[in-house]
Structures are given as C-alpha cells and as structure tokens.
Amino acid sequence: MLNDLKRTLTMLEKALDRLIRHNYYNRKQCPEIITVIEETINNIRIWIQHREILGNLKNFYSRVCSFIENLEVLIAQLSIPFGTFIA
C-alpha cells in the first residue's frame, strides 16, 4: 500500500512539473497554491518515511489521510484557473 502511495505521489509530482513547464516561463510566476501542493506532497513523503523508520504508529494512517484530503482540495482549487476538472 505504501509503495502504491509513493508511486502515486511521484506521478502527481511529475504532472505538476509538466503543468508548471507548460504554463509558466519562470517558476517564480507560479501561483502560491502550487507551492502549497508541493509542500503537502513533501509532508506526505516525510510521514511515509517516518512510518517506515519508526514502525507502526497508531495515528499514522489518520494523519496521512488528512494530508491526502488536503491535497485533494488543493488540486481542485488548482484546476479551476486552467479550466479543467479533476474528479
């Protein structure tokens, strides 16, 4: 399950990079929400690494789920300016 989650995060990161390359000449032109999405992805990765290092944490899954829900909201907000909808 964690490998699938890490793979999905990598795919999302690559898609975000493509979006930035196609729509912005310089990374400084990107809206703030892109930075927030990248930070959320990094937070999820950090939680996964801590889970793998420290073993089973009781609240690990609830926190990762919270990060993923936050990521879902951020991606939905990002899709509005580009005229796309991500279900």
The 10s digit of each residue's pLDDT in 30-60 is: 888 888 889 988 988 887 777 655 556 566 6
pLDDT at 52: 58
Whether this prediction's pTM lies above 0.85 is answered by: no
Which of 41, 45, 9, 50 lies closest to 59 in space, CA to CA?
Answer: 50
Q: Is 20 exposed, middle or buried (0-12, 13-18, 19+ CB in 10 A)?
A: middle
Mean pLDDT, range 7-18, rounded to an integer: 89
- Torsion angles phi and psi, residue 59, rounded to 5: -100, 10
In total, the chain counts a number of residues equal to 87
